Structures are given as structure tokens and as C-alpha cells.
Chain A
Amino acid sequence: MSSAGPPPAARTADAEIRDVRYGTYTGPRRGRGAAVWSLARWGALRSLGARRGWKAKAVPITLILLAVAPAVIVLGVRALFADQTGIDLSDALPFSGYQAIIGVVILLFAGITTPELLCPDRRDGVLQLYFSTAISRGEYLLGRVIGAIGPLLLVTMVPMLVLYVGILVFEEHPVAYLEEHWAELPRIVGAGVILAVYYGMVGLAVSSLTGRRAFAIGGYLLLLVAPTVLSGLLQEAFQGAEELDLVALSTLPIGFAGELFPDARDDIPNSLWEYALAYLVVVGAATVVLLRRYRPGSEA
């Protein structure tokens, strides 16, 4: 039985024959911004385990799911039971407190992903390959910083956006909710960026000191957790010394970001400006470390 399909000439071409002989490339060439973007893109993919085995993907994906889980659970409960119980679940998980709930997840996510951006390049000697192209050390660092912050936004900002959109969808009057709560959106974005920049820069700074991922992860956790534990102990000893909260490096940006939400300000010790100053000191120090490690003439 013959096929009833169209004759070959009438079919839409879905394949083409290409000449793969080496020839001179005469096509367009993009600027340095495209090179920075390429570094960011490939770095972000590598940190998330893309194009590698499932083991490399398992931890980042699990942490992302854990970060979104509170939003999904609250929205699910609301969808299933809110009508029967009459409970208003929109206040059960305030945006101002979301990052504090998943703080450990964010801390671990940054600890796992940021070393992937710098350590393999040092370990495998890839830097000499990169710097034999037109990109500068500063552009390399910029690409890696963007590559670190991008994935971090998946755990610092996206879960809150999921919660916001979910609440909006379940509202009886979404437009009214949007009009009343539109100001939460820039706060969510701001809070997400504050945390992503902080954990990303600290993670990269520690990673720049070693070519071994395990050391970078350990050093990062030690750097952030040890002062936090110390701060807690000192606050026990010196009741009311709220300034000590500013040296709790693992929670510092969460307190800073929480200050963006008016409903939480009374519950957070210290002022917005005190947090901002401490935040800038830590991020500035991390930036200095990075720039020094990749300055011309350094081993990098």
C-alpha cells in the first residue's frame, strides 16, 4: 500500500545539508557585554548542575523546591480549606517573614552553588583560557557575579513571587488586591536582590580563595554561621544588646530585607540604616577580596 503523504518536493524542509569544512568566519561579532553574559549564563547553568548527571542537579533542585514549599503549602491549604474554616491565610505567611523561614535553605543553596562558579576554573586552569580572549578580569568577575546572583534569586525572590501571585489568583477580587498590595511587589524584588547579592558575593569571595569546592563550602558556612552563633551567645549574656544582631552574618541580610516591609519593622531590632551599613561593610569586604584575588599579576 502506498503512502498518501505529499511528494518529497512538496514537504516542508526539516533538515538541511551543511558544509562542515573549516572556513573563515565572516559573520557578526558581538561586544564584550555578550561575552559577560555568556560567562554568566554558562556559570549559572553549571552551578545548577545543568548538562551533568542527576547527582549534580539533585541538591540545587531540592533546595529550590524546599524554598518554594512554604508558599505552595499555604496556597494549597487556602485553596482546600479556607472556605470551610473561614481562616484568612493571607496573613499566615507574611512576605516579611518568608525569607526568615527559609533562611537555612538560602544559606545552603548559596553555599552549594557559588563555589561552582569559581573553584573549577581555578582547579582546572581554565582562567588562562578565558584571559587569552579579549575579556578582562573585571568582566570575568562581573559575569560570575551575575551567574551567582541569578540562580540565588530562585530561592530568595521567586518563592515570594509565587506566594504573591498565588494569593492574587485565589482572591475573590484580584484587581482590588493588586491595587491595595501593589507596593509589596517592589519590596519582594528588593528583598530578593538584597539576599542574593549578599550571599552571592560572600560565597564568591570565599570561593576565590581556593580551587576546592569542599573547602569553599566549609569556609563559607564557617564564616557566616560562627559569628551568628557567637552573636546569639553574647546576646544571652548581655540582654538588650541588640547591636549584636548586626554581627550575626548569616541572618544579617534577612533582617535588612525584613526592614523593607512596614509590618515587620517593629519586630526587628536595629534600624534600616544600621542594617544597611553592616550589609554594605560585608558586601564591600567581599568585593575587595574578589578584586584582589583577580587583580592583574595575581595567580588567577
Chain B
Amino acid sequence: MRVESSTLTAPLTGGARLIAVDGLVKRFGQVTALDGVSLALDAPATGLLGANGAGKSTLMRLLLGLLRPDEGEVEVLGVDASRDAAEVRRRLGYMPELDCLPLEMTARDLVVHMAELRGLPRRDAVLRASEVLFQVGLEEERSRLIRTFSTGMKQRAKLAQALVHSPELVVLDEPTNGLDPSGREEMLALVRRLSSELGVAVLLSSHVLEDVTRTCDAVVVLRDGRVVTSGRIDEMEGLAGDGVLVRATGDLEAFAGRLEARGLAARRRDGGLAVSGAPEDALLDGVRDAAVDAGVALRELRPAGPTLEDALVDALE
């Protein structure tokens, strides 16, 4: 499936879209990195999903005005990114994927310096650095040289510098790269807080589906430089109206009979029963009670409709 143009939710602020891209083409020699990408993003947090080489980083660099498109238009926060890149970069924060931190600086000095580069007076830069380092959990390590940091701490420092000037939009390129499981959990929680509590819109790139589903409201999937699908995550996941798929051990015929006796529709599917015919709460109560009545043990209960993963796999195939 190829989606030429997509609009994700209503605009967030002031009517201006966070990101609007139309017919974007970017080539590097013979390689076409982006091939006619059109998007309009307004969700508080949007995930950019795709395998390595799908065009995520190229799209981000175009949004930042670091590259010029060969064709098409890029508008970020209502500003033409290819014409006024400096204004775009002044208003957003960027957390690069690769190593980019000065190893011989302390975290505090780095964040103060980056705040000054973004126009904050020195005194304000120092205060903001303290605030943002506290928010990312680096307040205790602020005076340590970055070369002594773990990977997780470096990722936090990268995030802190991206937030220090109070950006309207923060662009995060693979923020969980290289993190161990606990570090990843903490980073994902932090990213989710940006849009849900701190009021900063997020554009996150990742090749890990779970990173996107846990932190974002909408998703854009890229493959070979094209948008293959996009939309709100809750709309792409299975809906309650699609019913549930139940797998159980025991007499499935009796189980199906008990379900139908409760006014629910049950049909065989994938070695289990697809059950529908009632709102979500009543449906789940009916399945529970019918299982008890039929004396079967539930082994699996999940939405019968396609999951986000199903939808994305379908889109990528």
C-alpha cells in the first residue's frame, strides 16, 4: 500500500501544522533517498518507522533544513524549511542518532553552551540547563565530563540539549539506540512525557515498532523512500468492535454454545473462536462467564481485528 498524502489529526496550535511535506524528492547521485513523500503531521507525538535506509534520517535532515530537496516543499511549524532553515532550527530541538557530544565538556557546560547558541542570555542559559538536566535525570552528574558517561547518560544529555531552549517541536533520531533494557525503558518514559506532560511536540524516528507504539500518537511508515502507510495508532490497532479472538483448552463446541446462549456470535478461526456481538466490556464479561460455564481454560484473549504490527507488516509486504 502506498499513501501519497496523509493527515494525522487536527492541528495542535494556532492552526499551523507541525510538519507539512508535499511531493518531497531527494536524490544522492543515482540513489533516490526520498521519492515523492507527502505528509501533514499534527499529532502531539509522531513516530517515523522504517528499516535502515528507508529514508528516515534524510527526511529529518530535510525537516531541519540541513539538506535541500530536489523537488517538493517542506514546511515545519509554518516555516519553509528550505528557504528559512535558520528560523526552523531556532524553533525546534534535535537529538541526533550518532555520537555528537563533546567528550571533554561537562553535561552542564554543554547544555549551557547549546542554550547560548540558541540565543538565551548566559544567566537564563544556566538556569534552563539546571531545569532540563533535572528533567532528564542528570542533575547529579551535571558536573562530570561527558567522556565518563554511560550510553544512557549520553542519550539523556543529547535530549537535554535538544530541550533547553524550549522548542515547539523536538526531533529525536533513534533515541533508544544502544541502550540496555532499563535505559530504554527510562528513555521511552521520558519521551512519552515530552508530549503528554511537558507540551513539546515530538517527531521520533525508530526501526523498533514498540518504541513508537509506546511513545507516539501517530505513525508514519517509510520504505525505500516512500510513505507506505500512516495514521493514528489507536485507529490502526484492532478496534473493540471487531471482537476478540479466544483460544482455550477444553470443549470448544460447548464453549461456543455457551457464548451463543449469551447472545454473542462465535465462529471458528485460527484454532480458536472469534467472538463478537457486544460492546467491549459486555463482550469480555460474556467470554469469562461462558468459559466458566463450559469448563474451559482460557489460553489467549486478544483483539480479533488486525494489530498495528499486522497492519505494518501488511503495508511493508
The answer to whether residues A38 and B113 also contact, given A28-B121, A128-B96 and a CB cut-off of 8 A, is yes
The answer to whether residues A129 and B161 also contact, given A27-B120, A120-B103 and a CB cut-off of 8 A, is yes
Interface residue A29 (Cβ < 8 Å from any Cβ of B) = yes
Complex contacts, A134 vs chain B, CB 8 Å: 86-87, 89-90, 117-119
Is the interface on chain A under 10, 10 to 19, 20 to 34, or 35 or more residues? 35 or more
Other-chain contact of A128, B87, B98, B113, B165 (Cβ < 8 Å) = B98
| Alpha-carbon gap, A133 to B167, bound state (A) | 11
Interface residue B74 (Cβ < 8 Å from any Cβ of A) = no
| Alpha-carbon gap, A27 to B125, bound state (A) | 10
| Alpha-carbon gap, A135 to B64, bound state (A) | 12
Contact present for B117 and A125 (CB under 8 Å): no
Other-chain contact of A31, B98, B119, B198 (Cβ < 8 Å) = B119
Contact present for B106 and A51 (CB under 8 Å): yes
The answer to whether residues A22 and B102 also contact, given A29-B120, A132-B64, A134-B87 and a CB cut-off of 8 A, is no
Contact present for B166 and A24 (CB under 8 Å): yes
The majority secondary structure among interface residues of chain A is: loop
Interface residue A39 (Cβ < 8 Å from any Cβ of B) = yes
* Contact pattern, B 96-107, Cβ under 8 Å of A = 1, otherwise 0: 101111111110
Q: How many A-B residue pairs have CB under 8 A?
A: 102
* Contact pattern, B 187-203, Cβ under 8 Å of A = 1, otherwise 0: 00000000000110000
Interface residue A21 (Cβ < 8 Å from any Cβ of B) = yes
Contact present for B100 and A133 (CB under 8 Å): no
Contact present for A132 and B96 (CB under 8 Å): yes
Complex contacts, A28 vs chain B, CB 8 Å: 121, 124
Q: State the Cβ distance, A18 to closest chain B Cβ, in Å.
A: 7
Interface residue A281 (Cβ < 8 Å from any Cβ of B) = no
Please count how many residues in chain B sit with their CB below 8 Å of the partner chain's CB atoms: 42
| Alpha-carbon gap, A273 to B113, bound state (A) | 42
| Alpha-carbon gap, A42 to B104, bound state (A) | 12
* Contact pattern, B 115-138, Cβ under 8 Å of A = 1, otherwise 0: 011111100100110111011000
Complex contacts, B90 vs chain A, CB 8 Å: 133-134
Contact present for B104 and A46 (CB under 8 Å): yes
Interface residue B242 (Cβ < 8 Å from any Cβ of A) = no
Among B101, B117, B119: residue with most chain A CB under 10 A: B117
Interface residue B298 (Cβ < 8 Å from any Cβ of A) = no
Other-chain contact of A20, B103, B106, B134, B145 (Cβ < 8 Å) = B134
| Alpha-carbon gap, A24 to B197, bound state (A) | 12
Other-chain contact of B100, A30, A35, A42, A126 (Cβ < 8 Å) = A126
Contact present for A135 and B117 (CB under 8 Å): yes
Other-chain contact of B131, A23, A27, A39 (Cβ < 8 Å) = A23
Q: State the Cβ distance, B34 to closest chain A Cβ, in Å.
A: 17
Contact present for B100 and A128 (CB under 8 Å): yes
8 Å CB interface, A110-158 against B: 120-121, 124-126, 128-136
The answer to whether residues A130 and B120 also contact, given A20-B131, A120-B103, A125-B100 and a CB cut-off of 8 A, is no
Complex contacts, A25 vs chain B, CB 8 Å: 120, 124, 128, 165-166
Interface residue A34 (Cβ < 8 Å from any Cβ of B) = yes
Contact present for B100 and A129 (CB under 8 Å): yes
Interface residue A11 (Cβ < 8 Å from any Cβ of B) = no
The answer to whether residues A24 and B116 also contact, given A124-B102, A124-B103 and a CB cut-off of 8 A, is no
Q: Give A21's nearest chain B residue, CB to CB.
A: B131
Q: Give B136's nearest chain A residue, CB to CB.
A: A22
Interface residue A52 (Cβ < 8 Å from any Cβ of B) = yes
Interface residue B109 (Cβ < 8 Å from any Cβ of A) = yes
Q: Which 9 A-B pairs have the closest CB atoms?
A: A29-B119, A25-B166, A38-B116, A132-B94, A134-B86, A134-B90, A129-B100, A125-B100, A22-B135
6 contacts between A and B (CB under 8 A): A18-B130, A20-B130, A22-B132, A25-B165, A52-B145, A133-B114
With A125-B99, A129-B100 already in contact, 12 other A-B pairs whose C-beta atoms are closer than 8 Å: A25-B166, A28-B121, A28-B124, A31-B119, A34-B121, A120-B102, A129-B94, A129-B96, A130-B117, A132-B66, A134-B87, A134-B117
